[in-house]
Amino acid sequence: MTTLSAGILLFLILDPLGNIPIFLSLLKHVPQRRRLWVMARELLIALAVLVAFLLGGQFILRVLQLKQESVSIAGGIVLFLIGIKMVFPPRDGGIFGPPGEGEPFIVPLAIPGVAGPSAMAALLLLTNSQPGRTAQWGIALFLAWLATAVILLSSTWLFRWLGESVLTAMERLMGMLLVALSVQMFLGGMVAFVHAA
């Protein structure tokens, strides 16, 4: 996997377009002048968590004694389920429950909104598949996060300009791409397992 394809994969998993309505809903009780600051803070917290997973991924896998093939297969399954959820979202639309009053902190915007379990699993998979390329995975993560941050920081404008139906269509397209990537990841893990057996 190249740095560019890893960045695209992480961008699809971070799902900024799908997070726009969630961010706007959870921030509607926050004063207008503080919304951008709160979003920036939550995005930076999410980046710190993801970088920690990127740097500590090898250690976690060693402690759990997981093989590359099992992580690849499991990662493919998790990404497949997330892609399916993006293509066919739940009817209630409630991922994080009802929005509360006041200013959200860490949960649910930073975690699991941006730095969700799927992004953490993908980083574990990347560091395990090619451990000598941590710097390249870091660049891919930063670029994916930067694109996500730009989209989410301009979420109010994008929601007004594109409308909910266009954002929904784009999120479903991203879901289809994620499903295709997850199948490839799963098949790669199966091939590696068969060769190792």
pTM above the 0.75 mark?
yes
* Percent of residues, the chain, with pLDDT higher than 70: 94
182 in any annotated domain: yes
Task: Assign 17 a pLDDT band (cuts: 50, 70, 90).
Answer: confident
The answer, yes or no, to whether residue 100 has pLDDT greater than 70, is no
What is the domain count for the chain? 1
Angle between helix axes 3-14 and 155-196 (nearest 10 degrees) is 120
98 in any annotated domain: no
Task: Assign 4 a pLDDT band (cuts: 50, 70, 90).
Answer: very high
H-helix or E-strand containing 162?
helix 155-196
Residue 133's domain comprises: 3-91+105-196
36 in any annotated domain: yes
Q: Per-residue pLDDT tens for 49-97? A: 999 989 987 787 788 887 778 877 887 887 788 788 878 877 765 545 4
100 in any annotated domain: no
Provide the pLDDT for residue 193.
Answer: 86
Q: What average pLDDT does the segment 175-187 reach?
A: 85
49 in any annotated domain: yes
Using CA atoms, how far apart are residues 177 and 180, in angstroms rounded to an integer?
Answer: 5
DSSP 27: T
Could you give phi then psi for residue 105, rounded to 5 degrees?
A: -135, 120
Least confident span in 23-27, 75-79, 84-88, 156-160: 75-79
